[in-house]
Amino acid sequence: MSENPATPADATPAAPEGPAGASAAPQTHPEQQTPPVRQTRHRGEPMFPDGTGPAADPAGSHHERRIRSFQPRRSRVSLSQADALRRLWPKWGLDIDGLSRIDLDELFDGLPVVLEIGFGMGEATAQMAAADPDTGILACDVHTPGQGNLLALAERNGLSNIRVANGDAIILLREMLAPASLAGLRVYFPDPWPKKRHHKRRLIQPEFLSLVTTRLAPGAIVHCATDWEPYAEQMLEVLSAEPTLENVHPDSGYAPRPDFRPLTKFEGQGLDKGHVVHDLLFRRRTD
Catalytic residue IDs: 191
Q: Dihedral of the CA atoms 73, 279, 182, 157 (nearest 10)?
A: 60
CB 239 within 8 A of CB 282: yes
CB-CB contact of 190 with 202 (8 Å):
yes
Q: How big is the chain by its Cα radius of gyration, in Å? A: 18
68, 19 Cβ separation under 8 angstroms: no
Q: What single letter denotes the amino acid at residue 179?
A: P
CA distance to 17, 33, 40, 153, 177, per residue, from 36 (Å): 21, 8, 12, 18, 34
Residues 168 and 171: their CA atoms lie apart, in Å, by 6
Q: What is the DSSP string of 195-256?
A: SGGGGGG-S--HHHHHHHHHHEEEEEEEEEEES-HHHHHHHHHHHHH-TTEEESSTTTSSBP
d(CA 150, CA 93) in angstroms, rounded, equals 11
Which of helix, strand or coil describes residue 160?
A: coil
Q: Which of 279, 196, 274, 197 is nearest to 13 (CA)?
A: 274
CA distances from 22 to 79, 119, 139, 141, 241 (A): 24, 7, 11, 6, 22
